[in-house]
Structure 1
Amino acid sequence: MEIVKNRFLKGVTVVLSALLVISLMGCGQKTDAKTTEAKTVSENVKRMPDEMTKVNLGLPSNKNMSYLPFYVALKKGNFQKHNLNVNLSVVQGGVLALRGLQSGDFQIISSLPESVITGASEGANVKLIGTLDIQSMYSIYVAKDIHDPKELKGKVAASMVPGNGTDIQLQYWLKKHGLEPNKDIRIINAGDNAERLQTLQQGQSAVTILSPPTDLKADELGYKRFLMRDELKTYNHNMIAASGDQIKNKPEVIYAFMAAEAEAVTFIKDKANRDEVIKIVMEQMEMKNADAEKSLDFVLPALADHGKINIEGIKWAIDMVKEAGVLKKEINLDKLLDERFYAK
């Protein structure tokens, strides 16, 4: 009787063991199925529209060398290749570009990061999806009788809108050289590049901040230049932002836009294409050949491969917006960035 009992228990044990093995195999197969499914979904993400789609691109300034990838993408048909009909619209400054993005006038904009940071912190449904460049495009110019930044004490600085990225970078530079804005040096709102340079020419300011191509005119006039990128090592200058609705409802448009922009950057950086790129610069910026070459050489080192954002530069911008007293609410990177759309 004992033998029968032992055999019975042994049999039960074997059956249970077998069932356990089958169960574990089933679990393993189930996990693999989920992994495969997730991988398939990832690989099958739609990366361009099925048909030609209009995209209104808002730019906060006209004839800006940082926008060279956009100009090239239009000229070489990169956008069209990805089923995008891109229309460029110029507004006065990043704040207006951001408003156009929120109202639906634009699907994508380029802007300095500071205005997007401020807007997103206040609830704007926008995200930074990439960047055109990962170095500052700005240079500081001082009056001809200024030989040392310390001599600017008691003078006037020509800036743009208070709290704007242009203004923040100018104030950053002044502070690095021991000058407290609106205490040691008075800051005035002088408008865009051309207007700021004019204040320097007319003696209304002793220092200002300029970007290409206006910097070439300042060089011709003999003003001393200080490169912002020499002191500000991490910065995303002209960034790319999209509305939350566009990202949610038509992500394939964002993928296609970023792919076309990345292809244009690759074309620009290829030395074999230099002459063709120079011609595009001359046409778009209305420059003579020598100036086009100088501007291209200035921009080239800063162009971001794949539109990839410099995260340290974003952190710097957030800190500076806080320091300027413009950022009223905290904002984290997850709320500000969406890095899914980089070109492969």
Structure 2
Amino acid sequence: MRSRTLRALALGTAALAATTALTACGSSDDDKKSDTAAGAAAEAKTLKLGYFPNITHAPALVGVNKGLFADALTGTELKTQTFNAGPAAIEALLSGAIDATYIGPNPAINGWAKSDGQALKIIAGSTSGGAGLVVKEGINSPADLKGKKIATPQLGNTQDVALRAWLKENGLNADTNGGGDVSILPQDNATAVQAFAQGSIDGAWVPEPNLSKMRLESKGKLLVDEKTLWPNQDFVTTHLIVSQKFLKEYPGTVKKLLQGHIAAVKYINDDKAGAQKAANDQIKALTSKPLKDEILAAAFGNLKFTNDPIAGSLFTSAKHAEEVGLLKPVDLKGIYDLGPLNELLTANGQPAVSDAAAS
């Protein structure tokens, strides 16, 4: 199945190569067209790809574990690097330590703002859903959160912004120093899971699989399932970005990376059991701590894997970050480059995706 999928996805690239060969024999105008086509097929010797050892990055986990990226990147060596937080991945991209990475929306927005729109492009969606507010029993409404301690993964990260925006909409305030109606305590996910189990925090707005860990292992209650706050219950959790410099210099390699990505998303949606095993095997290889079967199944069931970047939710998330004082106004026009992805999707008989601001 994998080889058939990659062969189908490669049609667009093959057609482009054929066009290049034909135009090479033409006139001077044709020579210019040939040069353009050759540039569009330019490929790098190495691609440095970042991702997280987290189930919300399942397309990356599966793509690496099943060799889908390696199969697609013919002639290019794949090197991978893992991160535990978005800001670290963005810094690596800005410094050139990596060429592309799977990442959440808010770090991508921050990277775009920090570089004045020069550092990166979002080139594909990856994951939707799988985040929310888990609390102790006895907390049944926003009003019950007054005076409580709630964790988020990191100040200004995607879940932190979501919590602050939701609190504001419900008439509650929280400052960046842990004060206000609700005390927000940014801490890494592993710490938050342990703190909730020990009773030192009252809840946390976290992504999978931490959400399922808190529910199943510590009898937490899901007060807010974030997908219920979004149109069609879709919002971006993870997407794929690439440095603009790499995209400009090696568009052919970026296109092959996207072939591997599309193949990984298809594998997940066609073979959920196989995908869960592959993702967990890769997590085990990276951390020596695979997820328990019940946590793995629950987390996968709460996530949607898609090539659609769900652009509308990114623009809304940026507005939320501005409204809670964590982001200065930023013009996100041009943050997406979905042309190569849509070429491949169309060639494979799949619908194109949109970069429109409205969901």
Same fold (TM > 0.5): yes
Residue in 2 aligned with 1:29? none
Residue in 2 aligned with 1:184? 181
Is contact 1:111-1:241 (8 Å) kept? yes
CA RMSD of aligned residues (A): 2.8
Residue in 2 aligned with 1:145? 138
Match of 2:225 among 210, 224, 227: 227
In the superposition, relative to structure 1, how do residues 136 and 45 fare at CA in structure 2: closer, same or farther (>3 Å)? Answer: farther
Report the Cα distance in structure 1 between the residues aligned to 2:252 and 2:122, rounded to whole angstroms.
Answer: 16
3-state SS, counterpart of residue 309 of structure 2: coil
- List structure 1 runs of 4+ shifted beyond 4 angstroms: 36-48
Report the Cα distance in structure 1 between the residues aligned to 2:140 and 2:317, rounded to whole angstroms.
Answer: 29
The gaps in structure 1 that reach 5 residues or longer are 1-32
Report the Cα distance in structure 1 between the residues aligned to 2:326 and 2:142, rounded to whole angstroms.
Answer: 26
Report the Cα distance in structure 1 between the residues aligned to 2:130 and 2:276, rounded to whole angstroms.
Answer: 18
Count of paired positions: 299
Report the Cα distance in structure 1 between the residues aligned to 2:109 and 2:297, rounded to whole angstroms.
Answer: 33
Q: Pairwise mapping of residues 104-183 of structure 1 onto structure 2 (< 5 A)? A: 104-123=96-115, 124-133=118-127, 135-182=128-175, 183=180
3-state SS, counterpart of residue 191 of structure 2: helix
Is contact 1:122-1:329 (8 Å) kept? no
- Aligned-pair identity (%): 21
In the superposition, relative to structure 1, how do residues 55 and 40 fare at CA in structure 2: closer, same or farther (>3 Å)? Answer: closer
Q: Pairwise mapping of residues 67-106 of structure 1 onto structure 2 (< 5 A)? A: 67-82=57-72, 83=74, 84-106=76-98
Q: Report the alpha carbon displacement of residue 179 of structure 1 after superposing the two structures with TM.
A: 2.1
Q: Report the alpha carbon displacement of residue 338 of structure 1 after superposing the two structures with TM.
A: 1.5
Larger radius of gyration: 1
Residue in 1 aligned with 2:331? 331
The gaps in structure 2 that reach 5 residues or longer are 1-26, 284-289, 346-359
What is the CA deviation profile of residues 289-329 of structure 1, one whole-angstrom value per residue up to 9, with x for unaligned ones? 44333232222xx211xx23222112112212221323335
Report the Cα distance in structure 1 between the residues aligned to 2:196 and 2:64, rounded to whole angstroms.
Answer: 35
In the superposition, relative to structure 1, how do residues 37 and 295 fare at CA in structure 2: closer, same or farther (>3 Å)? Answer: farther
**Aligned-partner residue type, residue 320 of structure 1:** H
Match of 1:204 among 200, 211, 214: 200
Is contact 1:48-1:256 (8 Å) kept? no
What is the CA deviation profile of residues 35-77 of structure 1, one whole-angstrom value per residue up to 9, with x for unaligned ones? x99999998774573x8x4322223x43x11221122222332
Report the Cα distance in structure 1 between the residues aligned to 2:167 and 2:327, rounded to whole angstroms.
Answer: 21
Is contact 1:136-1:232 (8 Å) kept? no
Report the Cα distance in structure 2 between the residues aligned to 1:260 and 1:137, rounded to whole angstroms.
Answer: 23
Q: Report the alpha carbon displacement of residue 102 of structure 1 after superposing the two structures with TM.
A: 0.9
Q: What TM-score does the superposition give when structure 1 sets the normalisation length?
A: 0.77
3-state SS, counterpart of residue 158 of structure 1: strand
3-state SS, counterpart of residue 161 of structure 1: coil
**Aligned-partner residue type, residue 340 of structure 1:** G
Is contact 2:50-2:98 (8 Å) kept? yes
